[in-house]
Amino acid sequence: MSITGPGTKLSGREFDVATVRADFPILSRKINDHPLVYLDNAATTQKPRQVIDAISNYYEQTNSNVHRGVHTLSIEATDAYEVARAKVAKFINAPRPETVIWTRNTSESLNLVAATWADKNVGEGDNIVITAMEHHSNIVPWQQLAARKHAELRYLAAGKDGLLDMANIESTIDSRTKIVSATHISNVLGTVNPVAELANRAHEVGAVILIDAAQSVPHMAVDVQAIDADFLCFSAHKMLGPTGIGVLYGKYDLLDEMPPFMFGGDMILEVTYEDAKWNELPYKFEAGTPNIADAIATGVAVDYLTDLEMDNVWEHEQQLTAYALDRLTALNGITIFGPEDPALRGGVISFVHDKIHPHDLGTALDQQGIAIRTGHHCAMPLIRSYDVVAAARASFYVYNTKTEIDALVSGINDTERYFVR
C-alpha cells in the first residue's frame, strides 16, 4: 500500500511505494506465518533486485582485480569500480571523485580520521568536541585518542527534548579545539543536528569537522560543499547497498596531507628495500585488493536512490514519521525519546513501554512478523541518560507504509494484552 496512493505526487515526480516494494525480494517473505514488516532500517536496509543483480553480474561476468591488469576483465572491473566512486561523489556533491575513499563502513571511516589526521594534529592540552548523542563508533576512537594525547574530550549536551544545546557552543568549541565530530541524524533520537552551524563554528576557531552521516545520506539530500564538511562518512548497507563497504569523504588538501591508514598493495607509488612512497589520492587510503563487487553495487544503490529523488525519499519518511508519532503517542504506557516535532527528526523512533521490557516487546513483535530493534543501539551513554538501559526502535525507509505502522501499533497492543493483565 502506498502512503499516498499510486501515482500521487510528492516533490515533483511520482513516488509509488507499491512499485518500490516490488523491487525488494525479501519483502515477500513471511516470518512466523505473518507478512514481514521490516522496521529496522537504521540498523541496515533491505536490498533491491538491481543491487543484488549487480553483485552477481560482477562475479559472473567481470571478476578481476582492479588497477593492476591490462586484460579485458581487469579493465572492465576497474572502470566499473571507478564509475561507482564517481557516482557517490556526485550523490554527495563532492568536488572531485578522488576525495571519496572506499572503506569497510562508517566505523572504519571515523577510525581512519582519528588515526591519521587527528593523531597528527591533536596534542596535549587540545580538545576534541563531540555530541552527547553519538554512536559508540564516534565516541570510543576519541576517548582513546584523548587519553593517548593527553587531550580533553568535550561533549555538546543534548536536552531531554532530544535537541542539541547550542547555547554554550562558543565556550565548548574554542581556540584549543582541533576537531568537532558529530552525527548528522541520531540513530536513537532521530534528531537532525545543525551540522552546518557546527561546521561554521569549528572553522571560526581553526578546527575541522567530521560528520557521521550514516543516518542522513541514505534519507535526505546531503551536500558536502554546502555544509562545508571537512570530512563526512557513511555506510552503503544503510542505503540499499551491500554490507562491508563504506565511504569517507574529505577535502582534498586535508586528505593529501594525511599519512596512510594501512600499508600494502596499491597504496604505494614506489617501494625499495629501504623505503616507500605513497600513491596519489584516493588510492593512498585503499591498501590491498578492495571490495570491488560491493563498491560497484553501491553505485547501483546510488542510481536507485537518485532515480527516486532524495527529496521524495525524505518527504516519504517525514510523512511516515509524523503518522507513527501520532499513532504511538496515543498508546498508554509509551514514552518516546527525541523531538516531538517530526520536522526536526528523521525516520527513527525509539520508545519504551512502562510495563514491557524492550527485549520482550521485540520478541513478541517478531512472532507477528514485525522486525524492530531493541537494546542500547550502540549509544549506551545516551540511552542511560534517559534512565533506561534499553529501548525499542522502529525506523523507516523507502519501502515502508502506513499499513506497516498500523501493524506495529496493533502488535504493541496485542503484546500489552499478553503481558499486562
By annotation, the residues acting in catalysis are: 378
Nearest CA-CA partner of 327 in 346, 311, 342, 306: 342
Whether residue 214 contacts residue 106, with contact meaning beta carbons closer than 8 Å, is answered with yes
**Cα–Cα–Cα angle for 404, 26, 22, rounded to 5 degrees:** 75
* CA 267/CA 277 separation, integer angstroms: 9
Q: How far is CA 81 from the centre of its chain?
A: 21
> Cell numbers of 90, please?
556526485
Cell numbers 532524495: residue: 310
**Beta-bridge partners for 351:** 336, 392
